[in-house]
Amino acid sequence: MLAALEVTSGIGAVIAFLLLALLFLFWIVSLYLLVTDAIGIGAKVLWFVFLTCLAPIAIPLYFLVRARRGGQTAAAG
């Protein structure tokens, strides 16, 4: 097995910490964008719960949905 990738080793702990820090940064950015997004309050509450409970899944999904929604409004306008 690859001993260097174990979380209990020094390099594994550093990699795990960097990944967690990156996920936290993306989470903060997505929450900020959610607050400033032009969607209804009900949708904001649902997205907030989703982003809080299932962050690893919800963060990329939110960015994809937001980009798709933004592209449609730009094409329609």
How many domains are there within the chain? 1
Specify the pTM: 0.69
Residue matched to tokens 């990699």: 15
What distance in Å separates the CA atoms of residue 16 and residue 13, rounded to the nearest whole number?
Answer: 5
The set of residues, in sequence order, having a beta carbon less than 8 Å from that of 39 and lying 6+ positions away, is 47
> Could you give the CA distance from residue 29 to residue 59 in angstroms, rounded to a whole number?
9
Q: What is the pLDDT of residues 14-47, one digit of tens each?
A: 888 999 999 999 999 999 999 998 889 999 999 9
51-60 pLDDT, tens digit each = 999 988 999 9
Q: Which domain range does residue 23 map to?
A: 3-76
